[in-house]
């Protein structure tokens, strides 16, 4: 293919050829194999709550459709199931799901064990079911929904969190490229905002994840992962049906029972992998800018942060640090000694990250290019010639990451680069972006496989290569890779940022549903460029964006070349103080953030959660995407409009404390709270224990405090409430072998008596300096407590007691 395919109308499949009749059925290890016209259908139990459906093409199954699924299904337990046949249907049952296959005509209906619906095949205008149909290399299917249902997921998408009423394309796209804009404007009205790449409705974006939730009118959710990396069109615009069309590859779909969103996300990340544990410094504040810095400039920038007391963990270098944009090189006129730079930054508590693009300059004098050619490591065209694209260095070749030897080679380059003292790798332009030359002639696996199969997987494979190389060189260290593009499973290797946004208020708003939709799709380590990448930001916008981003998983200030300065201090002392306060809050919350990230590592639970994740049976939450939960116990409602001094927001069930004033609110109501420029509305859940660092370090480097504050927000109702704290060295993988503390806090209220107890597991870690906890009470003013049986006074709502990882009990009267 040399150019983009024409848009496929999903509601018009009159030329598609349906498969309509089920034939002979035979039992296989995990389910059944059945003839389906001239093809084959497989239904297989992966877990009792996950079933996989596959349909062959040309009589053959593709057993490895993508690199998304990483669980070893050959060794996964086979859940108990039954198969029953009638003259009209085939019924497979596990403890959680029932799959009913209609024989003639072919249909698929899936229900939970309680009879609630998971999916039902839709019928077309002619009354015929549209379970599965093909047209050349494409296939499509249509299913039933209701007018008030919601759809969530699909990864990085513009617009509202609820995808109902819109259609989408899954194809990784260099959004601000004029080619990336023009290609996807084809077939749309020029007035349609989706034709403008800076619009908050433009589609597609950099990350494509063919996974979504169908949330019905009762609040029950089901999950669907189409393991197909080709270009996919998803149409949620009809009122009572939805359709999906893949332009190539085979049909392989995992259906997840739910009905809880959290259980679906746990299952999806079990299939595709959980977040790699990030180093603690990656959770800090990052300063980046596309700018022609020198080594002296970077050292001065580091000193400026320290002089102005702006906490910061990393400084980043964009493409201008390279020699003619040749990847893994340095412009030695600007950076005469990169290793010395990394050492000097480290002495001041900073780490250094550099950009690494996949495009390798076509230059016979460039050793990396010669090496790649000599070992046949670059992508080829159908002719057998090297595929040549156009990116920053001009003519560029692209590593063929489908080849294991190319991934190994690329990983070695990254490891060698990191040995200079580079702490993390920033993968950009990896959609792959190819500039003025269309990407479709780029083929993979030595030119044997088409571009379309691996386009959406290119960033995943690049990140895989990078991380494997870093792990080989630094086997016990946590890695940090940031990627612009991605596919299902990218969270195993890299964080993502949301690409080239704009310095506009609507892009600040967009960063919230976009991040939450991506987090629901498995990638929890996500964030937007603070202040906006393109365009000149404004002081008020910058302040509001900093407040919002300080509570998101990835917090990086970044802007494009040729625009005004947007450092924390660039807009005068008042805005600088607002930025400082926001960053300082993030650092004080670090123990809480670390704990939230570890839950993601263990279960897939997002750090930045839409309200519908935790409150899916509250119908209001599915339409709320301008506020979010930070972990389980904090709720943020950022301001995203100018000249705003108050904010209306929704508080879900429970009770909530205003972080700034300790005012207590009942849940399940809308409230209006003050939001002057120096305040982001933030609430803590009643009954929660929120752990904070006692002060604000300049960076996380070497910071292991002697005490951690436990901020207890008193519940007004009797009951038991739980929270957690995870502590480890923050840098290595030693926690996987027991070098950590995990404390479970149990808060119980009975009348006026309140007890908080802590139970701890883990063997501790060498760096741990904590010798005490400081309990800080909100919502009451107790005078005395009993700590492990000994009376102890509160002073201004605080009391400190010795603790080095052992269990404890504190009780007092409220």
Could you give the residue numbers annotated as active site? 428, 431, 500
Strands 526-527 and 495-497 come out as parallel
Residue 353 β-bridge partners? 316, 424
Rounded distance, CA 510 to CA 528, Å? 9
Q: What is the 3-state secondary structure (H, E, C) of 651-688?
A: ECCCEEEECCCCCEEECCEEEEEECCCCCCCEEEECCC
CA angle 410, 172, 148 (to 5 degrees): 140
Helices (H), 589-654: 590-603, 611-614
User: Is the bond leading into 432 cis (omega within 30 degrees of zero)?
Assistant: yes
Long-range contacts of 194-200 (CB under 8 A, 24+ apart): 198/502, 198/504, 198/534, 199/158, 200/158, 200/159, 200/506, 200/507, 200/509, 200/510
Q: Tokens at residue 801, please? A: 């007691």
Distance CA 354, CA 422 (A): 7
Pair 449, 385: CB distance under 8 Å: no
Separation between Cα atoms, residue 608 and residue 586, nearest integer Å = 14
438, 375 Cβ separation under 8 angstroms: no
Q: Strand 221-226's sheet: what is its strand order? A: 22-28, 31-36, 39-47, 50-55, 251-256, 221-226, 211-215, 150-153
**Residue 226 near residue 454, CB atoms below 8 Å:** no
Let me know: does 765 contact 728? Beta carbons within 8 Å. yes
468, 411 contact by CB (below 8 A): yes
Among all chains, which residue has been given the structure tokens 């746990």?
266
Give the dihedral sign, CA 449/451/455/461. Answer: positive
805 and 764 Cβ atoms separated by less than 8 Å: yes
Collapsing DSSP to helix, strand or coil, 249 comes out as: coil
| b (16+ CB within 10 A) / e for 9-48 | ebeebeebebbbebeebeeeebbbbbebeebbbbbbbbbb
* 739, 765 Cβ separation under 8 angstroms: yes
């Amino acid at each position: 293919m040399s150019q983009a395919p024409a848009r496929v109308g999903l509601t018009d499949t009159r030329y598609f050829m349906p498969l309509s009749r089920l034939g002979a059925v035979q039992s296989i290890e995990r389910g059944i194999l059945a003839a389906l016209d001239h093809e084959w259908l497989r239904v297989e139990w992966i877990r009792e709550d996950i079933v996989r459906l596959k349909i062959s093409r040309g009589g053959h199954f593709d057993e490895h459709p993508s690199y998304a699924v990483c669980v070893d299904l050959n060794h996964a337990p086979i859940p108990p199931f039954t198969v029953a046949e009638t003259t009209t249907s085939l019924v497979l049952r596990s403890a959680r799901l029932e799959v009913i296959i209609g024989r003639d005509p072919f249909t698929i209906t899936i229900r939970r064990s309680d009879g609630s619906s998971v999916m039902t095949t839709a019928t077309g205008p002619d009354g015929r079911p549209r379970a599965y149909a093909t047209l050349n290399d494409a296939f499509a299917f249509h299913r039933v929904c209701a007018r008030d249902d919601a759809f969530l997921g699909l990864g990085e998408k513009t617009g509202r969190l609820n995808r109902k009423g819109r259609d989408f394309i899954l194809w990784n796209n260099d959004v601000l490229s004029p080619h990336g804009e023009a290609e996807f404007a084809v077939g749309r009205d020029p007035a349609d905002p989706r034709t403008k790449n800076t619009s908050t409705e433009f589609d597609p974006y950099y990350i494509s994840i063919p996974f979504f939730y169908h949330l019905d009118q009762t609040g029950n959710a089901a999950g669907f992962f189409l393991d197909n990396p080709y270009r996919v069109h998803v149409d949620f615009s009809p009122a009572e049906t939805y359709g999906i069309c893949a332009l190539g590859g085979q049909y392989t779909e995992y259906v997840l029972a739910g009905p809880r969103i959290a259980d679906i996300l746990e299952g999806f990340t079990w299939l595709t992998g959980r977040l790699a544990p990030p180093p603690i410094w990656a959770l800090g504040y990052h300063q980046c800018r596309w700018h022609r810095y020198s080594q002296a400039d970077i050292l001065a920038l580091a000193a400026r942060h320290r002089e102005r007391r702006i906490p910061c963990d990393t400084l980043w270098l964009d493409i201008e640090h390279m020699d003619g944009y040749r990847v893994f090189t340095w412009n030695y006129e600007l950076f005469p000694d990169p290793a010395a730079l990394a050492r000097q930054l480290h002495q001041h508590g900073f780490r250094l990250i550099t950009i690494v693009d996949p495009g390798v300059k076509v230059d016979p004098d460039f050793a990396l290019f010669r090496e790649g050619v000599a070992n046949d490591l670059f992508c080829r065209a159908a002719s057998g010639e090297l595929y040549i694209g156009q990116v920053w260095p001009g003519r560029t070749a692209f590593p063929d990451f489908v080849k294991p030897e190319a991934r190994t080679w690329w990983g070695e380059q990254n490891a060698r680069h990191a040995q200079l003292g580079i702490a993390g790798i920033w993968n950009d332009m990896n959609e792959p972006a190819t500039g003025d030359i269309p990407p479709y002639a780029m083929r993979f696996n030595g030119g044997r496989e088409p571009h379309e199969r691996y386009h959406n997987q290119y960033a995943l494979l690049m990140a895989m290569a990078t991380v494997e190389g870093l792990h080989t060189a630094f086997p016990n260290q946590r890695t940090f890779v940031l990627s612009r593009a991605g596919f299902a499973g990218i969270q195993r290797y890299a964080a993502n940022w949301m690409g080239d946004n704009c310095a506009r208020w609507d892009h600040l708003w967009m960063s919230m549903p976009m991040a939450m939709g991506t987090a629901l799709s498995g990638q929890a380590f996500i964030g937007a460029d603070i202040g906006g990448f393109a365009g000149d930001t404004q002081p008020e916008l910058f302040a509001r964006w900093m407040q919002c981003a300080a509570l998101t998983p990835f917090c990086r200030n970044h802007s494009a070349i040729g625009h005004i300065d947007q450092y924390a201090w660039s807009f005068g002392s008042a805005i600088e103080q607002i930025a400082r306060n926001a960053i300082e809050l993030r650092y004080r919350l670090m123990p809480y953030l670390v704990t939230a990230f570890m839950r993601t590592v263990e279960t897939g639970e997002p750090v930045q959660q839409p309200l519908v994740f935790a409150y899916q049976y509250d119908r209001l939450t599915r339409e709320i995407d301008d506020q979010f939960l930070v972990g389980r116990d904090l709720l943020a409602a950022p301001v995203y409009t100018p000249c705003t001094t108050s904010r209306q927001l929704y508080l879900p069930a429970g009770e909530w404390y205003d972080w700034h004033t300790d005012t207590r609110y009942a849940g399940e109501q809308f409230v209006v709270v003050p939001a002057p420029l120096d305040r982001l509305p933030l609430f803590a859940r009643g009954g929660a224990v929120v752990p904070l660092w006692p002060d604000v370090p300049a960076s996380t480097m070497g910071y292991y405090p002697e005490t951690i504050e436990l901020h207890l927000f008193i519940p007004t109702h009797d009951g038991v409430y739980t929270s957690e704290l995870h502590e480890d060295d923050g840098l290595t993988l030693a926690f996987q072998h027991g070098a950590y503390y995990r404390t479970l806090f149990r808060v119980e209220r009975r009348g006026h008596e309140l007890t908080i107890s802590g139970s701890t597991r883990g063997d501790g870690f060498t760096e741990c300096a904590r010798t005490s906890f400081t309990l800080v009470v909100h919502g009451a003013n107790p005078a005395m407590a009993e700590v492990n049986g000994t009376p102890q006074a509160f002073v201004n709502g605080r009391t400190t007691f010795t603790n080095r990882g052992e269990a404890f009990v504190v009780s007092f009267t409220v």
